């Protein structure tokens, strides 16, 4: 059972319905897990984020060359994490040649975090890009 909680009145009703469902299962001997978490990013936010990253990838050279959107996503997410005081893992490559950046996965972002990341990308673009190209 999943429910999106919007306001206290609606949430109270949803919890009442959930309790009726959970009570019957508990009385039947089942163990249950209750998880309350912030709302995840929307598909519109996801589309916007990936469009911005794609635009940067298409128009930007970094370290002397162009990189694909996945590489830019890693670089931007890692930089964003550092601005928030979060660590970014840099691990030895599995093949033993070099290192790999392992930033936060964007699929796990909440709406608030995704909005903050999008704002960071806009800010990065504004500081590093002209109308048609980034440097």
Q: What residues form DSSP beta bridges with 65?
A: 62
pTM of the model: 0.72
**Domains by residue range for the chain, with CATH:** 1-36 (no CATH), 43-128 (1.10.3790.10)
| pLDDT value of position 68 | 96
101 touches 83 (CB < 8 A): no
Give the model confidence (pLDDT) of 45-89 as tens digits: 999 999 999 999 998 889 989 999 999 999 999 999 999 999 888
Residue 134 has pLDDT above 80, yes or no: no
């Amino acid at each position: 059972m999943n429910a999106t909680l919007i306001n206290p009145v609606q949430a109270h009703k949803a919890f009442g319905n959930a309790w009726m469902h959970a009570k019957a299962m508990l009385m039947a001997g089942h163990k249950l897990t209750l998880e309350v978490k912030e709302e995840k990013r929307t598909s519109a936010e996801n589309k916007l984020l990936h469009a911005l990253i794609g635009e940067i990838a298409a128009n930007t050279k970094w370290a002397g060359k162009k990189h694909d959107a996945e590489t830019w996503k890693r670089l931007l997410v890692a930089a964003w994490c550092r601005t928030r005081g979060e660590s970014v893992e840099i691990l030895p490559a599995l093949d033993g040649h070099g290192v790999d950046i392992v930033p936060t996965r964007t699929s796990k972002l909440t709406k608030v975090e995704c909005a903050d990341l999008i704002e960071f990308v806009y800010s990065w673009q504004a500081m590093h890009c002209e109308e048609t190209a980034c440097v």
